[in-house]
Protein backbone atom coordinates (compact mmCIF):
# COMPACT_ATOMS: atom_id res chain seq x y z
CA UNK A 1 0.00 0.00 0.00
CA UNK A 2 1.11 3.55 -0.68
CA UNK A 3 1.22 5.79 2.38
CA UNK A 4 0.65 9.48 1.87
CA UNK A 5 1.57 12.00 4.52
CA UNK A 6 -0.92 14.83 4.63
CA UNK A 7 -0.45 18.20 6.35
CA UNK A 8 -3.64 19.53 7.94
CA UNK A 9 -3.92 23.31 8.18
CA UNK A 10 -7.41 24.12 9.48
CA UNK A 11 -6.73 27.85 9.95
CA UNK A 12 -9.58 29.90 11.40
CA UNK A 13 -13.35 29.75 11.82
CA UNK A 14 -15.12 26.93 9.99
CA UNK A 15 -11.75 25.77 8.67
CA UNK A 16 -11.58 23.96 12.01
CA UNK A 17 -14.89 22.24 11.31
CA UNK A 18 -14.38 21.22 7.69
CA UNK A 19 -10.74 20.09 7.74
CA UNK A 20 -11.46 17.36 10.33
CA UNK A 21 -14.21 16.18 7.94
CA UNK A 22 -11.60 16.00 5.18
CA UNK A 23 -9.36 13.92 7.42
CA UNK A 24 -12.17 11.52 8.24
CA UNK A 25 -12.90 11.14 4.56
CA UNK A 26 -9.30 10.09 3.89
CA UNK A 27 -9.40 7.68 6.84
CA UNK A 28 -12.62 6.16 5.53
CA UNK A 29 -11.55 5.38 1.96
CA UNK A 30 -12.13 1.71 1.10
CA UNK A 31 -9.11 -0.51 1.76
CA UNK A 32 -9.40 -1.86 -1.81
CA UNK A 33 -7.73 1.40 -2.93
CA UNK A 34 -4.55 0.31 -1.16
CA UNK A 35 -3.95 3.75 0.27
CA UNK A 36 -2.86 4.70 3.74
CA UNK A 37 -2.54 8.14 5.27
CA UNK A 38 -0.59 9.71 8.05
CA UNK A 39 -1.38 13.21 9.24
CA UNK A 40 0.45 16.16 10.71
CA UNK A 41 -1.38 19.14 12.22
CA UNK A 42 0.01 22.50 11.17
CA UNK A 43 -0.69 26.08 12.21
CA UNK A 44 -1.50 29.08 10.07
CA UNK A 45 -3.99 31.93 10.09
CA UNK A 46 -5.11 34.96 12.01
CA UNK A 47 -5.38 33.21 15.38
CA UNK A 48 -1.86 31.88 14.86
CA UNK A 49 -0.78 35.44 14.09
CA UNK A 50 -2.37 36.78 17.27
CA UNK A 51 -0.70 34.04 19.30
CA UNK A 52 2.75 34.00 17.72
CA UNK A 53 3.16 37.17 15.67
CA UNK A 54 3.23 35.34 12.35
CA UNK A 55 0.37 33.98 10.24
CA UNK A 56 2.59 31.32 8.69
CA UNK A 57 5.13 29.80 11.09
CA UNK A 58 8.38 28.56 9.46
CA UNK A 59 7.66 25.15 10.92
CA UNK A 60 4.51 24.83 8.81
CA UNK A 61 6.45 25.53 5.63
CA UNK A 62 9.34 23.24 6.64
CA UNK A 63 7.10 20.30 7.47
CA UNK A 64 5.14 20.71 4.24
CA UNK A 65 8.35 20.83 2.23
CA UNK A 66 10.22 18.02 3.95
CA UNK A 67 7.57 15.57 5.13
CA UNK A 68 4.34 15.93 3.26
CA UNK A 69 2.99 14.51 0.01
CA UNK A 70 0.02 16.84 0.08
CA UNK A 71 -2.02 19.06 2.39
CA UNK A 72 -5.45 20.40 3.19
CA UNK A 73 -5.95 24.05 3.98
CA UNK A 74 -9.20 25.25 5.59
CA UNK A 75 -9.66 29.01 5.56
CA UNK A 76 -8.16 31.99 7.26
CA UNK A 77 -9.74 35.17 8.54
CA UNK A 78 -8.18 38.41 7.53
CA UNK A 79 -8.29 41.43 9.80
CA UNK A 80 -10.93 43.99 8.81
CA UNK A 81 -8.46 46.84 9.27
CA UNK A 82 -4.81 46.69 8.31
CA UNK A 83 -2.74 45.04 11.03
CA UNK A 84 1.02 45.64 10.97
CA UNK A 85 2.96 42.49 10.15
CA UNK A 86 -0.02 40.44 8.96
CA UNK A 87 -0.05 38.97 5.50
CA UNK A 88 -2.10 36.15 4.03
CA UNK A 89 -0.56 32.73 4.73
CA UNK A 90 -2.01 31.10 1.63
CA UNK A 91 -0.43 33.74 -0.61
CA UNK A 92 2.90 33.18 1.18
CA UNK A 93 2.55 29.41 0.87
CA UNK A 94 1.96 29.70 -2.88
CA UNK A 95 5.26 31.61 -3.14
CA UNK A 96 7.33 29.48 -0.78
CA UNK A 97 6.24 26.17 -2.26
CA UNK A 98 6.03 27.45 -5.84
CA UNK A 99 2.39 26.38 -6.09
CA UNK A 100 2.17 27.74 -9.59
CA UNK A 101 -1.34 26.65 -10.48
CA UNK A 102 -4.65 27.33 -8.83
CA UNK A 103 -7.22 24.85 -10.04
CA UNK A 104 -10.92 25.42 -9.51
CA UNK A 105 -13.53 23.01 -10.80
CA UNK A 106 -17.12 24.23 -10.98
CA UNK A 107 -19.68 21.49 -11.35
CA UNK A 108 -23.40 21.02 -10.96
CA UNK A 109 -25.00 17.64 -10.36
CA UNK A 110 -27.76 15.86 -12.25
CA UNK A 111 -30.29 17.08 -9.69
CA UNK A 112 -29.78 20.76 -10.48
CA UNK A 113 -31.88 22.54 -13.08
CA UNK A 114 -30.56 23.48 -16.51
CA UNK A 115 -27.74 21.95 -18.52
CA UNK A 116 -25.05 20.33 -16.36
CA UNK A 117 -21.98 22.50 -15.81
CA UNK A 118 -18.62 20.79 -15.45
CA UNK A 119 -15.72 23.11 -16.05
CA UNK A 120 -12.40 23.84 -14.42
CA UNK A 121 -10.43 27.04 -14.33
CA UNK A 122 -6.65 26.70 -14.29
CA UNK A 123 -5.17 29.96 -13.08
CA UNK A 124 -1.50 30.87 -13.30
CA UNK A 125 -0.50 31.72 -9.79
CA UNK A 126 2.95 33.30 -9.67
CA UNK A 127 3.09 36.36 -11.90
CA UNK A 128 0.99 38.82 -13.94
CA UNK A 129 -0.09 41.88 -11.90
CA UNK A 130 0.38 39.86 -8.71
CA UNK A 131 4.14 40.45 -8.71
CA UNK A 132 2.98 43.56 -6.82
CA UNK A 133 5.51 45.91 -8.34
CA UNK A 134 3.63 49.17 -8.05
CA UNK A 135 4.74 52.74 -7.83
CA UNK A 136 3.20 56.15 -7.54
CA UNK A 137 4.47 59.39 -9.07
CA UNK A 138 3.49 62.92 -8.24
CA UNK A 139 2.82 64.88 -11.39
CA UNK A 140 1.53 68.40 -12.01
CA UNK A 141 -1.86 66.85 -12.78
CA UNK A 142 -1.90 64.82 -9.53
CA UNK A 143 -0.77 61.36 -8.53
CA UNK A 144 -0.26 58.62 -11.09
CA UNK A 145 0.05 54.99 -9.98
CA UNK A 146 1.27 52.14 -12.14
CA UNK A 147 1.88 48.40 -11.79
CA UNK A 148 3.96 45.83 -13.62
CA UNK A 149 2.16 43.05 -15.41
CA UNK A 150 4.79 40.34 -15.84
CA UNK A 151 4.20 37.38 -18.14
CA UNK A 152 6.95 34.84 -18.73
CA UNK A 153 7.34 32.11 -21.28
CA UNK A 154 8.22 29.61 -18.55
CA UNK A 155 5.18 30.27 -16.39
CA UNK A 156 2.81 30.43 -19.36
CA UNK A 157 4.17 27.21 -20.78
CA UNK A 158 3.90 25.20 -17.57
CA UNK A 159 0.39 26.42 -16.77
CA UNK A 160 -0.82 25.56 -20.29
CA UNK A 161 0.83 22.16 -20.05
CA UNK A 162 -0.91 21.56 -16.76
CA UNK A 163 -4.24 22.61 -18.31
CA UNK A 164 -3.67 20.11 -21.13
CA UNK A 165 -2.90 17.35 -18.67
CA UNK A 166 -5.96 18.14 -16.58
CA UNK A 167 -8.07 18.03 -19.75
CA UNK A 168 -6.74 14.57 -20.63
CA UNK A 169 -7.30 13.28 -17.11
CA UNK A 170 -10.86 14.63 -16.99
CA UNK A 171 -11.60 12.88 -20.26
CA UNK A 172 -10.26 9.64 -18.85
CA UNK A 173 -12.53 9.98 -15.81
CA UNK A 174 -15.51 10.86 -18.06
CA UNK A 175 -14.85 7.92 -20.35
CA UNK A 176 -14.86 5.57 -17.37
CA UNK A 177 -18.22 6.91 -16.14
CA UNK A 178 -21.50 5.19 -17.07
CA UNK A 179 -22.51 8.15 -19.25
CA UNK A 180 -19.77 10.26 -20.74
CA UNK A 181 -21.00 13.82 -21.22
CA UNK A 182 -18.28 15.00 -23.60
CA UNK A 183 -16.44 13.10 -26.28
CA UNK A 184 -13.30 15.21 -26.53
CA UNK A 185 -11.35 17.25 -24.00
CA UNK A 186 -11.11 20.99 -24.65
CA UNK A 187 -8.84 23.76 -23.41
CA UNK A 188 -9.81 27.41 -23.81
CA UNK A 189 -6.94 29.90 -23.64
CA UNK A 190 -8.10 33.19 -22.12
CA UNK A 191 -6.29 36.43 -22.90
CA UNK A 192 -6.64 40.06 -23.93
CA UNK A 193 -3.95 40.13 -26.57
CA UNK A 194 -5.98 42.36 -28.87
CA UNK A 195 -5.05 45.16 -26.43
CA UNK A 196 -2.01 43.78 -24.60
CA UNK A 197 -0.15 42.33 -27.54
CA UNK A 198 3.15 41.77 -25.73
CA UNK A 199 2.13 40.45 -22.33
CA UNK A 200 -1.09 38.63 -23.12
CA UNK A 201 0.25 38.04 -26.60
CA UNK A 202 3.13 36.09 -25.09
CA UNK A 203 0.76 34.14 -22.85
CA UNK A 204 -1.43 33.21 -25.81
CA UNK A 205 1.45 32.26 -28.13
CA UNK A 206 3.22 30.23 -25.45
CA UNK A 207 0.06 28.43 -24.36
CA UNK A 208 -0.71 27.63 -27.97
CA UNK A 209 2.76 26.18 -28.45
CA UNK A 210 2.62 24.11 -25.26
CA UNK A 211 -0.75 22.66 -26.24
CA UNK A 212 0.51 21.80 -29.71
CA UNK A 213 2.55 18.97 -28.14
CA UNK A 214 1.84 15.53 -29.57
CA UNK A 215 0.36 14.19 -26.34
CA UNK A 216 -2.37 16.83 -26.51
CA UNK A 217 -3.39 15.82 -30.03
CA UNK A 218 -6.86 14.76 -28.84
CA UNK A 219 -7.45 18.07 -27.04
CA UNK A 220 -9.61 20.65 -28.80
CA UNK A 221 -7.93 24.06 -28.45
CA UNK A 222 -9.83 27.32 -28.35
CA UNK A 223 -8.98 30.92 -27.60
CA UNK A 224 -11.25 33.47 -26.04
CA UNK A 225 -10.79 37.13 -25.18
CA UNK A 226 -11.39 37.52 -21.47
CA UNK A 227 -14.30 39.96 -21.56
CA UNK A 228 -16.29 37.83 -23.95
CA UNK A 229 -15.21 34.83 -21.87
CA UNK A 230 -17.03 36.37 -18.90
CA UNK A 231 -20.13 36.81 -21.03
CA UNK A 232 -20.01 33.26 -22.35
CA UNK A 233 -19.20 31.62 -19.04
CA UNK A 234 -22.46 33.05 -17.69
CA UNK A 235 -24.56 32.51 -20.81
CA UNK A 236 -23.27 29.09 -21.75
CA UNK A 237 -21.25 27.58 -18.91
CA UNK A 238 -22.04 24.02 -20.02
CA UNK A 239 -19.95 24.63 -23.15
CA UNK A 240 -16.62 24.78 -21.29
CA UNK A 241 -14.23 22.09 -20.13
CA UNK A 242 -10.82 23.48 -19.10
CA UNK A 243 -10.11 27.21 -19.09
CA UNK A 244 -6.53 28.41 -18.71
CA UNK A 245 -5.79 32.00 -17.80
CA UNK A 246 -3.12 34.36 -16.52
CA UNK A 247 -3.34 35.21 -12.82
CA UNK A 248 -5.70 38.20 -12.76
CA UNK A 249 -8.25 36.95 -15.29
CA UNK A 250 -8.12 33.55 -13.64
CA UNK A 251 -8.80 35.07 -10.22
CA UNK A 252 -11.83 36.98 -11.47
CA UNK A 253 -13.18 34.18 -13.63
CA UNK A 254 -12.87 31.58 -10.91
CA UNK A 255 -14.68 33.60 -8.25
CA UNK A 256 -17.33 34.52 -10.80
CA UNK A 257 -17.75 30.95 -11.96
CA UNK A 258 -18.27 29.82 -8.36
CA UNK A 259 -21.52 31.81 -8.50
CA UNK A 260 -22.81 29.37 -11.13
CA UNK A 261 -23.42 26.71 -8.49
CA UNK A 262 -25.69 27.03 -5.49
CA UNK A 263 -23.30 27.75 -2.62
CA UNK A 264 -19.70 28.61 -1.81
CA UNK A 265 -19.88 25.55 0.41
CA UNK A 266 -19.70 23.37 -2.71
CA UNK A 267 -16.68 24.76 -4.54
CA UNK A 268 -13.23 23.19 -4.10
CA UNK A 269 -9.80 24.28 -5.28
CA UNK A 270 -6.25 23.07 -5.32
CA UNK A 271 -2.93 24.89 -5.23
CA UNK A 272 -0.56 22.78 -7.23
CA UNK A 273 3.06 22.35 -8.17
CA UNK A 274 4.66 19.32 -9.78
CA UNK A 275 4.20 16.39 -7.40
CA UNK A 276 2.55 18.35 -4.58
CA UNK A 277 -0.90 19.78 -4.03
CA UNK A 278 -2.84 21.60 -1.33
CA UNK A 279 -6.60 21.13 -1.41
CA UNK A 280 -8.52 24.18 -0.23
CA UNK A 281 -12.25 24.95 -0.16
CA UNK A 282 -12.99 28.25 -1.91
CA UNK A 283 -14.96 29.69 0.95
CA UNK A 284 -13.58 31.74 3.83
CA UNK A 285 -13.77 31.27 7.58
CA UNK A 286 -17.51 32.12 7.67
CA UNK A 287 -17.63 33.80 11.11
CA UNK A 288 -21.44 34.03 10.84
CA UNK A 289 -21.84 30.24 11.18
CA UNK A 290 -18.67 29.38 13.07
CA UNK A 291 -19.10 26.95 15.96
CA UNK A 292 -22.64 25.94 15.00
CA UNK A 293 -21.65 22.66 13.37
CA UNK A 294 -23.55 23.49 10.17
CA UNK A 295 -20.75 24.36 7.73
CA UNK A 296 -21.13 22.50 4.47
CA UNK A 297 -18.17 20.10 4.26
CA UNK A 298 -18.61 19.35 0.54
CA UNK A 299 -16.19 22.01 -0.76
CA UNK A 300 -13.56 20.41 1.47
CA UNK A 301 -14.46 16.83 0.53
CA UNK A 302 -14.15 17.76 -3.14
CA UNK A 303 -10.83 19.50 -2.38
CA UNK A 304 -9.61 16.24 -0.85
CA UNK A 305 -10.46 14.47 -4.11
CA UNK A 306 -8.78 17.16 -6.16
CA UNK A 307 -5.61 16.88 -4.07
CA UNK A 308 -5.63 13.11 -4.60
CA UNK A 309 -5.99 13.57 -8.37
CA UNK A 310 -2.79 15.61 -8.41
CA UNK A 311 -1.03 13.00 -6.28
CA UNK A 312 -1.83 10.42 -8.94
CA UNK A 313 -4.69 8.76 -7.05
CA UNK A 314 -7.44 9.10 -9.62
CA UNK A 315 -9.42 6.06 -8.53
CA UNK A 316 -9.72 7.38 -4.98
CA UNK A 317 -10.69 10.81 -6.31
CA UNK A 318 -13.37 9.34 -8.57
CA UNK A 319 -14.88 7.44 -5.61
CA UNK A 320 -15.18 10.66 -3.63
CA UNK A 321 -16.71 12.64 -6.52
CA UNK A 322 -19.29 9.91 -7.07
CA UNK A 323 -20.19 9.73 -3.38
CA UNK A 324 -20.54 13.52 -3.10
CA UNK A 325 -22.66 13.73 -6.26
CA UNK A 326 -24.91 10.96 -4.95
CA UNK A 327 -25.47 12.86 -1.72
CA UNK A 328 -26.36 16.03 -3.62
CA UNK A 329 -28.51 14.25 -6.19
CA UNK A 330 -30.58 12.52 -3.56
CA UNK A 331 -30.89 15.84 -1.75
CA UNK A 332 -32.12 14.43 1.56
CA UNK A 333 -29.17 15.31 3.73
CA UNK A 334 -28.17 18.83 2.81
CA UNK A 335 -26.67 21.55 4.96
CA UNK A 336 -28.57 24.83 5.56
CA UNK A 337 -26.70 26.77 2.84
CA UNK A 338 -28.42 24.39 0.37
CA UNK A 339 -31.80 24.72 2.03
CA UNK A 340 -31.46 21.60 4.17
CA UNK A 341 -31.23 20.93 7.90
CA UNK A 342 -28.27 18.57 8.08
CA UNK A 343 -25.19 19.26 10.19
CA UNK A 344 -21.59 19.05 8.97
CA UNK A 345 -21.39 15.66 10.64
CA UNK A 346 -24.58 14.33 9.03
CA UNK A 347 -23.53 15.40 5.53
CA UNK A 348 -20.10 13.85 6.06
CA UNK A 349 -21.58 10.58 7.33
CA UNK A 350 -23.92 10.39 4.36
CA UNK A 351 -21.01 10.81 1.94
CA UNK A 352 -18.89 8.26 3.83
CA UNK A 353 -21.73 5.77 3.68
CA UNK A 354 -21.74 6.08 -0.13
CA UNK A 355 -18.03 5.35 -0.56
- 258: contact with ligand NAD by CB under 6 A: no
**Per-residue CA distances from 296 to 278, 289, 301 (Å):** 19, 10, 10
- The residues near 244 (Cβ < 8 Å, ≥ 6 apart) are 122, 124, 159, 160, 163, 187, 188, 189, 190, 207, 250
Please choose which of Mn ion, ligand NAD, none residue 251 contacts, taking the beta carbon within 5 to 8 angstroms, the exact cut-off set by kind: Mn ion
Count the residues of the shown chain that bind ligand NAD, applying the rule CB under 6 A. Answer: 20
| From candidates 251, 313, 325, 350, binder to Mn ion by CB under 5 A | 251
| From candidates 16, 104, 283, 302, binder to ligand NAD by CB under 6 A | 283
> What 3-state class would DSSP assign to 249?
helix
Binding mask 37-66 for ligand NAD (x = CB under 6 A): ------------------------------
Rounded-to-integer distance, Cα 87 and Cα 151, Å: 24
Rounded-to-integer distance, Cα 104 and Cα 268, Å: 6
User: For Mn ion, which is the closer residue by CB, 196 or 264?
Assistant: 264
- The residues near 336 (Cβ < 8 Å, ≥ 6 apart) are 289, 294
Binding mask 1-40 for ligand NAD (x = CB under 6 A): -------------x--------------------------
112 closest CA partner among 10, 277, 238: 238
- 91: contact with ligand NAD by CB under 6 A: no
CB of residue 251 to Mn ion, shortest distance in Å: 5
- 124: contact with Mn ion by CB under 5 A: no
Rounded-to-integer distance, Cα 140 and Cα 27, Å: 65
| From candidates 71, 289, 304, 316, binder to ligand NAD by CB under 6 A | 289
> What 3-state class would DSSP assign to 170?
helix
User: For Mn ion, which is the closer residue by CB, 131 or 176?
Assistant: 131
Interacting residue ranges for ligand NAD, rule: CB under 6 A: 14, 75-78, 90, 264-265, 283-289, 295-296, 299, 335, 337
Amino acid sequence: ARTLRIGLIPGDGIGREVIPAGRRLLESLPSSLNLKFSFVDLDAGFDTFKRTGTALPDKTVEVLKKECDGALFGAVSSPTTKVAGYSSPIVALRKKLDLYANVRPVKTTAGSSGEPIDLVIVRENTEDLYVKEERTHDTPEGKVAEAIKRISERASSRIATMAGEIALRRQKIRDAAPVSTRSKPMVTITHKSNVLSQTDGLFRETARKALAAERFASVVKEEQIVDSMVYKIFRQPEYYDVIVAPNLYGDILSDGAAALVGSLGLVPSANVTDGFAIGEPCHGSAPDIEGKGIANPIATLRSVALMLEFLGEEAAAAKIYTAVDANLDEGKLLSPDLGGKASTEEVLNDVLKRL
